[in-house]
Amino acid sequence: MSSPPRRRVRCLMVCLGNICRSPMAESLLASKISQRPDLEHVEVDSAGTGGWHAGEEPDRRTRQVLEANGITRWSRARQFQPGDWEAFDFIVAMDEDNVADLLRTRGARRDKLSLATSWLRGGEGPVPDPYYGSIGDFEAIFRQLDDITDAMLPVLAKHGR
Ligand code: 4NP
């Protein structure tokens, strides 16, 4: 007998502008999911607490670092909306400002919200905003998000059974 279909698990990565950190996190996680049959039930998206960049592609430096690591798919920016609290199971914020901004939105669900670094053993602090930084800052964030998304995989694999 085949096993019953697994419940979808939806994961939303959130930063301020949704053009640097959270799209990088989304593309990294989506790339890992696409290589793992045991993560077929997982969907990933990203959003910004701010809407200034809605509709735009990720920042050129985010795309550059993703492409340098063999990742060529990304989505366009959108602003977080209150309905996301219901639509997603895991909402992962890049820094404490994102956490505070999210908690001020209608229908906020503290139980679904985590700080990205909290997925790492002993992890704390932000995934720092690289917008006014160098390409080296984007590369550092890629490594940080690579570790964070790796740490999420076993939890996502178990979830939805
Ligand atoms: P992100 O970076 O939150 O990682 O996408 C930023 C992008 C744009 C702005 C700030 C941060 N901005 O002020 O436009």
Q: Is 2's pLDDT higher than 60?
A: yes
List CB contacts of 39: < 8 A, sequence separation 6 or more: 32, 33, 153, 156, 157
Given 11, 15, 45, 95, the catalytic residue: 15
Share of the chain above pLDDT 70, in %: 98
Alpha-carbon distance of 88 to 10, in angstroms, equals 5
Known active-site residue 21:
yes
Most ligand 1 atoms within 8 A of CB, residue of 63, 129, 134 to mutate? 129
| Alpha-carbon gap, residue 149 to 90, rounded angstroms | 12
Higher pLDDT, 53 or 123: 53
pLDDT of res. 94: 98
pTM of this structure = 0.97
58 lines ligand 1 (CB under 6 A): no
| pLDDT for 13 | 99
How does pLDDT run across 54-112, given as a tens digit for each residue? 999 999 999 999 999 999 999 999 999 999 999 999 999 999 999 999 999 999 999 99
Atom of ligand 1 nearest to the CA of 23: 5
Which spans in 35-111 are helix H? 60-68, 84-87, 96-103
